[in-house]
Structure 1
Amino acid sequence: MNSYQPLMSQAGFLNTHQVEAWDEQGNRRELSIAGESPLTIYLDKKEVVTLMTLGSRPELLTLGYLRNQGFIDSIEQVKAIQVDWEVEAVAVVTHEGVEGLEQKLQHRTITTGCGQGTVFGGLMEKIDQIQLPDVRLPQSQIYGLLDSLRQQNEIYKQAGAVHGCALCQGTEVLSFVEDVGRHNAVDTLAGEMLLQRRQGDDKIFYTTGRLTSEMVIKVAQMGIPILLSRSGVTRMGMELARQVGLTLIGRAKGKSFLVFNGQQRIDYDQKPEPMPHSQKRGQKRGSKEASP
């Protein structure tokens, strides 16, 4: 196995902050909030994008972002990744440059990512060439994985205001990342996969956020055949999932989930008892009343 690793800084930092706030009774409280800092990526001295991030794994975020945007294909292309929070920037140096870099930077599309995500020119053409492996998924495995995922979301539990993403295998959570945007979290995991040379064909990707076209594109590029979320799906996200053969599962909470694409790959081996219609109506009323 190739053991090459680029020169990388280790500039992650504390991603929650203690602040004061006053509650509805006028009482002062001390609590944690999520951190957020700008990080501008420079690729071979060319400015690419500024990301807003928690800052916990900036090198992996940068690496995954460049991989998912089609600027690099392998870890061997990268000579160094150096983060400097004093200037809120990360400098990425490649060994031989990036072919067509100027053209890619000239054509970008703003997506529906948290805040604003970006897709650069030429990326959609690459999606046309992706066909993911046909992997079956037992219903019992979905439930087991959801149980494992309940132990995560540490920053969200402390401070809120973040999204979480996880790389999973079977019912095991291999790696979990939280950031202020789900596209940052997925890019960080993509960077980790690239650095560790992990393949995606036997993995499941989980996100707390919406299943948009950007999320589907990123997960498909990582070679992962199953995308699972507790949230919903957009039309373009579903269309792209059909195009690349991605099993797309949303609204996954408790024993409930909806398969938006790839239903033929689900083995329904643990069907829950159907809920009486009157109880469903009561639950809906209760959830509305409990909503903030």
Structure 2
Amino acid sequence: MAPREDDAEDETPLAFDAVPLPRRAGAPRLNPARGPLLRRIEIVDQHGERRDIDIPAERPLTVFVDKRELVTLMTLGAAPELLVLGYLLNQDLVRRADEVESIDVDWSVEAAAVKTHRGIANLAEKTAHRVVTTGCGQGTVFGDAMAQIGAVRLPAAQSARIAQGTLARILEQMKSRNSVHRHAGSVHGCALFRGTEMLVFAEDVGRHNAIDTIAGWMAVHGVDGGDKVFYTTGRLTSEMVMKSAHMGVPIVVSRNGVTAMGHELATKLGMTLFGRAANRHFLCYCGFERFDAEPLAQALTAD
């Protein structure tokens, strides 16, 4: 995958990386404003030795939509303009990227200014029911995830499938990736695959921010999710499952596990969830009809 232009001479592991694709017609004007990803601090280790290490540079980004304050996101800042767009889409505050005219990020005031073409109808009503979600980089969603099921349309199992060999190659790529997490820890990573090809990779302090960043990239480039696989290092909560569904991605893989509500939601939507996925080990929690299993022979043990 080709790095962003501003990463060309930066030795820091990439927290955002994507294949180069043309922008779709009507995509909003974005002001790329990546912040420094790491901060160097001094620590004392278990041997009593002092040394310098890098830690992720978490920062607040307050989002204003048509000059109205909406939410403050805690983020690494690898691709903040895509994060904001993806957040608006996954919250169902906008339906399409072309409803947004521009997104300008200014780190000097820690703010993102979103300008829409015609405003967001019933914004106050849509944001009245706020739910604080689980996990690191704590997120906020508006509305009830279960109430949104009827609006989701995913491809049939016959046209969106994954083979076990494909899953294994995806896991191999994620294991070997030079990431901020491997360098400094404390972040989550997400990626979108077409077969075994990684299209986009994003890291952030919260898994929900990373998936929103990918949603923003998909919207800008007109990438459909129906034949894709979404990977995350974070657990599959109802929020993550619903965001994947909003992106039109029916197959989700996690290095972590799944919550009961995440499983219930995915089952109702006809999605396939894999968890505890690392190396060649995994659990398929639901959506077995999309999975072409190639069972590995179990090692025989002597009595």
Q: Which residue of 1 aligns with 2:259?
A: 234
Counterpart CA distance in 1 for 2:265 and 2:245 is: 9
Q: Higher relative contact order by CA 8 Å / sep ≥ 6: 1 or 2?
A: 2
- Decide which structure has greater helix share: 1
Within 5 Å, which residues of 2 pair with 1:196-275?
196-269=221-294, 271-275=295-299
Q: Which residue of 2 aligns with 1:130?
A: 152
Counterpart CA distance in 1 for 2:273 and 2:142 is: 24
Is 1:191 matched with 2:216?
Answer: yes
Is 1:54 matched with 2:79?
Answer: no
- Note the residue ranges of structure 1 that are not aligned, 5 or more in a row: 280-292
- Note the residue ranges of structure 2 that are not aligned, 5 or more in a row: 1-22
Q: Which residue of 2 aligns with 1:17?
A: 39
Q: Percent identity?
A: 49
What is the TM-score of this pair, normalised by structure 2?
A: 0.87
Counterpart CA distance in 2 for 1:266 and 1:177 is: 25
2:195 counterpart (158, 164, 170): 170
Give SS of 2:88's match.
helix
Within 5 Å, which residues of 2 pair with 1:118-157?
118-121=140-143, 124-133=146-155, 134=157, 135-152=160-177, 154-157=179-182
**Larger deviation: 132-141 or 115-124?**
115-124
- Residue 2 of structure 1 deviates from its aligned partner by 5.2
Is 1:35 matched with 2:60?
Answer: no
Counterpart CA distance in 2 for 1:175 and 1:221 is: 17
Residue deviations 1:7-65 (CA, integer Å, cap 9, x gap)? 22121122012211111121111111111000011111221111110011000000000
Counterpart CA distance in 2 for 1:153 and 1:187 is: 21
Is the 8 Å Cα contact of residues 148 and 172 (structure 1) preserved in structure 2? no
**Larger deviation: 106-115 or 216-225?**
106-115
- Residue 6 of structure 1 deviates from its aligned partner by 2.0
Residue deviations 1:253-277 (CA, integer Å, cap 9, x gap)? 11111011111321123x2221457
- Residue 126 of structure 1 deviates from its aligned partner by 2.8
Q: Which residue of 1 aligns with 2:18?
A: none
Is the 8 Å Cα contact of residues 145 and 239 (structure 2) preserved in structure 1? no
> Which one-letter code corresponds to 1:205 in the other structure?
F
- Residue 249 of structure 1 deviates from its aligned partner by 0.5
Residue deviations 1:136-192 (CA, integer Å, cap 9, x gap)? 221111111111222325101110000000011111111111110000000000000
> Which one-letter code corresponds to 1:20 in the other structure?
E
> Which one-letter code corresponds to 2:26 in the other structure?
Y
> Which one-letter code corresponds to 1:120 in the other structure?
F
Counterpart CA distance in 2 for 1:173 and 1:52 is: 26
**Larger deviation: 65-74 or 17-26?**
17-26
Is the 8 Å Cα contact of residues 169 and 196 (structure 2) preserved in structure 1? yes
> Which one-letter code corresponds to 2:124 in the other structure?
E
Is 1:94 matched with 2:119?
Answer: no
- Residue 113 of structure 1 deviates from its aligned partner by 3.7
1:73 counterpart (81, 86, 95): 95
Seen in structure 2, the aligned counterparts of structure 1 residues 101 and 6 have a Cα distance that, compared at 3 Å, is same
Is the 8 Å Cα contact of residues 113 and 214 (structure 1) preserved in structure 2? no
> Which one-letter code corresponds to 2:131 in the other structure?
T
Is the 8 Å Cα contact of residues 89 and 95 (structure 2) preserved in structure 1? yes
**Larger deviation: 3-12 or 122-131?**
122-131
What is the TM-score of this pair, normalised by structure 1?
A: 0.91
> Which one-letter code corresponds to 1:163 in the other structure?
H
